[in-house]
Amino acid sequence: MNTMIIPKAAALLAVLLVLSSGCGFTGGSNNPQQSPVVESNNTAPLTSLDTPASVPGDVSSTPATNSAIPAAPEQPTVTTPIPLPGDTLPEALIALDWQEVKQLPPAEAWTGIPADAMTVSVQRLKNLGGAAITFYTRPGDEDFVYADLRISSVHYRLGPAGTYNYRKPEDLGAAVVSLFNGKALKITGGLGANSTLSNYYTIDEARVPTGILRVDTGHTNEADVDRNGSAEVVSAHGTPMTAYVYRWHDGHAEEAYINDALQADSVVLRDDLIYEAADLGNPEVKEYQLTPEGLKLRNSY
């Protein structure tokens, strides 16, 4: 009779051991090979910004207490887009060598032009409160044409406006232009057959002018060539063509020589504000766009 009780007790004991082994585990799996310990300090490498991030599988239906391994992420297919005509691939920027412009045009209060001066022309600026610019030459001086600014009853001597050989009224000009995120008075005169002198002045609320930029590197224009929302001065001169750009930085004007930056014999700024660079004897032309950070290659042909 004892031989019958022992097997039954052993069987009951085995059942109890099996049941007790499942107590206290809240995971969704009792297989330790499928339930790894999750470390709190994740040492997996960060996803590179240059590659698409992986999209993890949907585990929203898994209870918070489920320690099962998430589904493997899908790997997106990476394709390189085919550039359309006119599109460009990213290129390294060519930095410009900006140099502070230290030769500035004068603006000094004085009594007015001398009585023996020869007046060439007088230009009145309605958008400058009726201020008048008088261009004149001085007896015995065959070097320059000079400019005087009169605001109300105060005169300011602006210095040379151009060379004596270009003393006709059509060789001289005065205008108010948009420049360096503001307004400026621009005085222009001739230097040579294909070159001009441009002097720029700001005028404060007290109507006092201050010279901020003198450009003698060619014909000038004002344009937002780097597309930063503020107009720069661009100049061009000669054959082959040379190109310069002027900006306002840290309280002063700065100059950069585009030909030097591109190592090109000729650089031309088109009407769409794209630079064309070429070398003598080489038919290849490269297109560049100026950005605040430097020159970017667009195309070559």
Query: Phi/psi of residue 61, each to 5°?
Result: -85, -5
- DSSP output for the chain: -HHHHHHHHHHHHHHHHHHHTTTT--SS---GGG-PPPPSS--PPPPPTTSPPPB----TTS-TT--PPPPPPB-PPP-PPPPPTT-------B----EE-------EEES-S-TT-EEEEEEEEGGGTTEEEEEEE-TT--SEEEEEEEETTEEEEEEEEEETT--SGGG-EEEEEEETTEEEEEEEEEEETTEEEEEEEEE-TT--EEEEEEE-SSEEEEE-TT-SSS-EEEEEETTTTEEEEEEEETTEEEEEEHHHHHT-SEEEE-TTS-EEEE-TT----EEEEEETTEEEEEEE-
* Residue 129: predicted pLDDT: 80
* Residue 91: predicted pLDDT: 60
Let me know if residue 5 belongs to a domain.
Answer: no
Both 262 and 282 in one domain: the answer is: yes
Both 202 and 212 in one domain: the answer is: yes
Domain boundary, last residue among 216, 234, 259: 216
d(CA 245, CA 265): 16
Let me know if residue 221 belongs to a domain.
Answer: yes
Count CA within 13 A, CB hemisphere, residue 103. Answer: 10
Let me know if residue 288 belongs to a domain.
Answer: yes
Number of domains in the chain: 2
Domain with 266, as residue range(s), is: 217-301
Both 196 and 127 in one domain: the answer is: yes
Both 139 and 180 in one domain: the answer is: yes
Both 135 and 209 in one domain: the answer is: yes
What global pTM score does this model have? 0.69
Both 106 and 192 in one domain: the answer is: yes
pLDDT, one tens digit for every residue, the chain (301 residues): 444 444 444 444 443 343 344 433 333 333 433 333 333 333 333 222 233 332 233 333 333 333 332 333 333 333 334 444 444 444 689 999 999 999 999 999 999 999 999 999 999 998 888 899 999 999 999 999 999 999 989 999 999 999 999 999 999 999 999 999 999 999 999 998 888 999 999 999 889 999 999 999 999 999 999 999 999 999 999 989 999 999 999 999 999 999 999 999 999 999 999 999 999 999 999 999 999 999 999 998 9
Please state whether beta strands 209-215 and 219-223 pair in parallel, antiparallel, or not at all (unpaired).
Answer: unpaired
* 259 Cα distance to chain centroid: 19
Question: Is the bond preceding residue 81 a cis peptide, omega within 30 degrees?
Answer: no
Let me know if residue 71 belongs to a domain.
Answer: no
Let me know if residue 209 belongs to a domain.
Answer: yes
Both 115 and 212 in one domain: the answer is: yes
Domain boundary, last residue among 216, 237, 267: 216
Both 235 and 280 in one domain: the answer is: yes
* Residue 50: predicted pLDDT: 32
Both 222 and 209 in one domain: the answer is: no
- Residue among 147, 153, 279 nearest 211 (CA): 147
Q: Quick count: other Cβ atoms within 10 Å of Cβ 26? A: 8
Let me know if residue 77 belongs to a domain.
Answer: no
Let me know if residue 74 belongs to a domain.
Answer: no
Both 131 and 191 in one domain: the answer is: yes
Domain boundary, last residue among 216, 244, 278: 216
Both 207 and 250 in one domain: the answer is: no
Let me know if residue 85 belongs to a domain.
Answer: no
Burial 72-103 (b: 16+ CB within 10 A, else e): eeeeeeeeeeeeeeeeeeeeeebebeeeebee
Both 149 and 209 in one domain: the answer is: yes
Strand order of the sheet with strand 232-237? 99-100, 252-257, 242-249, 232-237, 219-223
At residue 264's C-alpha, the angle toward residues 262 and 265, to 5°, is: 155
CB 255 within 8 A of CB 101: yes
